[in-house]
Amino acid sequence: MQPLRQLQSGIVLLAALLLCACSSTSVSKAQQTKQQELLTQLSEQLQQAQLPSDALAFVAYPVDAPTEQHNYQAQKAMQPASTMKLVTSIVALEQLGPAYRGKTQLRSYEAPARKMQQPLVLKGYGDMDFTVQELWSLLQQAYDQGIRHVPAIQIDRSWFNPARPELTALPFDETPREYYNLLPDALFLQRNMLGIKLQSTAGTVTGQLYPSVQGLDLVTTEVRLVDGGCADWYPNPQQLAFQRQPHSMQLVLKGDFPKNCQKRDYLQLINRVDFSRLLVQQLWQQISGQQQVQVQEQEQAAPQASVLLAEHQSRTLAEVLRDVNKSSDNAVTRQLYLTLGATQADTGTELTAHRSEQQVRSFLSSIQLDHRSLILENGSGLSRTERISPELMADLLQHAYQTVYQPELISSMPLAGVDGTLKRRLTQGQTKGKARLKTGTLRNVTALAGFVTDQSGRTWVVASFINDPKAGRGRVVLDSLIEWITTQSVTH
C-alpha cells in the first residue's frame, strides 16, 4: 500500500503545481511548456523531500521581459527569513543614499575648559562601527581641547524610541546572548558584545573577558569541572549571574564545564547601560586622570548640547550593506531599519519602528507596488511575523535593478559558490558565479531571492520561499530552481 500512497500523493502534488501553469491564456504555448517542465521538476523534488505543494511559492522572470514569468503561488504572503533584508537594503539606498553614514557625537553645553561646569553628552545616531577604540578617540579629542575634569558624562540613546528596547522585548529563541539576537541601540558601543575565554585543566578553570572592563570581574569559582565534550559546551543564560559589589560588578559563571577544555565566544554578557557606563568611566579616567566621574544614562532626549567636541562616522551605507546581505547581519539590519524612521522629522512619542514601516510603505506606494502582502516587524527577517509575497519581492528587485544604485545593491549580495552565505552553495560549474542571491533560513523557512544570469547572458529576478516545519529539506528545491534559470536561453 505504501508505494500506491506515494504515487497518489505525487499525482495530487503535480496536479496542484501544474494547475497554475495551465490556468493562464495570456502566455505563449512555449512558455506554458517551460512552466510545466519546471513545475514537474519541482514537484518531484518536493515529493522526495516529503514537503506539501503549498509550502512552495516563487516568481522568476528575465528583468527585461517580465511577461515571461514563471511562478507558483506568486501572491501568497510567506515568511521570508533573511531575504527581507533586501527590502530594507533597497529602501535604505533610495531614502538615505549609498553615501549615508551613521554617527556618534561627543558634545558639551559650554566651550571647552579645564574644569567643565556642565556634563559632556555622548549621543548615538545609529553608528554601526562605534568600537571601544573609537570611544577612546572621542574622549581623547575632548582632552586635547583642554578638558581635564567634568561633573558627569551623559549617554543619550534617544535617537531611537524606545531608547531601551531590551526592557520589554521578548527573546526570539533560547540563545538570547548570541550576536544575532542583539537588539538595536542608537549608541551601538562595541555592539554591546564582550569576548569570553574559559580554559580548564583536570582540576582548575580560569576565565577572562576581552576587552578587559575595569569594574567587571569574571568569577569561575562556582564552576564544577566534569568529564564531557568540550565542543558542545555553551554558556546557557541560567549559568550566568550578576552580583553587584560596593565597587564592582561580578559576572558569576555557574554550572558544569568540561575538563581540559578551552572555549572562546563573543556574547551579550552584560546589561548595555552597565557596559557603556563602565567603559566610559574607565577610558576617561585613563585619559584625563580624573578618578571619579559620574556616567548618567539619558533615556529621554537631553537639551541640545550646542558645542560639538568630536564625532565618529560609520562606514558608508554601501559598505555596511555588505554586512547586511553577504553576512546576513541581523543586528546591523535592525539598526538600519530604525534609521529609516529616525531620520524623519521628529513626531514626538511615535515609535521609531512605526515610522520606519511608514517609510517603507510610502516608498513602495510611490513606485506603484501593491504591498498588502507585506508585514514588517524589524526589517531583518529574524521574526515570526514578517511576511512578503514572491511577487512583491521580485517586483521590488526588478525596480532596484533599473536604478542608479544597482551596483551597490548587487555587490552587497552573496555570489553563488564564492562568498558570503553562498560560499558553499551552488558551487557547480553552471551556477558558480552566475547568481547574486540573498539567503534566508529559519527553522520553518528556507528562501532565496535576487538575480541570476542565464546562458544567454540575460539577468533574471527570482524570489522563492518554502515555509514548513521541515523547510530545511526544501533547500534542494530552491537550488534546483536557480540551476534551471541558469540553463535558460532566448532560444531554449
Q: What is the reported pLDDT for 11?
A: 45
Of 84-98, 110-124, 165-179, the poorest mean pLDDT is in 165-179
**13 — pLDDT class (breaks 50, 70, 90):** low
As given in the structure block, the three cell numbers for residue 389 are 509575497
- Mean pLDDT for the stretch of residues 131-145: 98
Of 244-248, 281-285, 397-401, the poorest mean pLDDT is in 244-248
- Mean pLDDT for the stretch of residues 271-284: 95
Centroid of chain to Cα 214: 31
- Mean pLDDT for the stretch of residues 295-322: 90
What is the CB-side half-sphere exposure of residue 308 using CA atoms within 13 A? 6
Of 77-81, 271-275, 371-375, 423-427, the poorest mean pLDDT is in 271-275
Q: What is the reported pLDDT for 357?
A: 98
Residues carrying CATH 3.40.710.10, the chain:
2-98+320-486
**189 — pLDDT class (breaks 50, 70, 90):** very high
Omega of the bond prior to 171 within 30 degrees of 0, cis? Answer: no
Q: What is the reported pLDDT for 23?
A: 45
Sign of the CA dihedral 323, 324, 325, 327? Answer: positive
What's the chain's average pLDDT? 91
Cβ count near 463 (within 10 Å): 30
Beta strands of 133-282 (E only): which ranges?
152-156, 194-200, 205-210, 216-219, 223-226, 240-244, 249-253, 255-258, 262-267
Beta strands of 134-230 (E only): which ranges?
152-156, 194-200, 205-210, 216-219, 223-226
Q: What is the reported pLDDT for 304?
A: 81
Omega of the bond prior to 162 within 30 degrees of 0, cis? Answer: yes
Q: Are 194 and 269 in contact (CB under 8 A)?
A: yes
pTM comes to 0.92
| Res. 5: pLDDT tops 60 | no
**17 — pLDDT class (breaks 50, 70, 90):** low
Higher pLDDT: 312 or 244? It is 312
DSSP 45-92: HHHHTT--GGGEEEEEEETT-TTS-EEESTT--B--GGGGHHHHHHHH
| Res. 106: pLDDT tops 90 | yes
Using DSSP's 3-state secondary structure scheme, residue 264 falls into strand
- The predicted-structure confidence for 28-58, as pLDDT tens digits, reads as follows 787 888 889 999 999 999 999 999 999 999 9
Report percent pLDDT > 90 for the chain: 79
Which residues have C-beta within 8 Å of that of residue 225, sequence separation ≥ 6?
200, 202, 203, 204, 205, 256, 257, 258, 259
- Mean pLDDT for the stretch of residues 441-445: 97
| Res. 27: pLDDT tops 80 | no
Phi, psi of 456, deg, nearest 5: -90, 0
**22 — pLDDT class (breaks 50, 70, 90):** very low
- Mean pLDDT for the stretch of residues 280-305: 88
Tell the CATH topology of 2-98+320-486.
Beta-lactamase (3.40.710)
**492 — pLDDT class (breaks 50, 70, 90):** low
Higher pLDDT: 345 or 400? It is 400
- Mean pLDDT for the stretch of residues 64-86: 97
| Res. 254: pLDDT tops 70 | yes
Residue bearing cell 582548575:
204
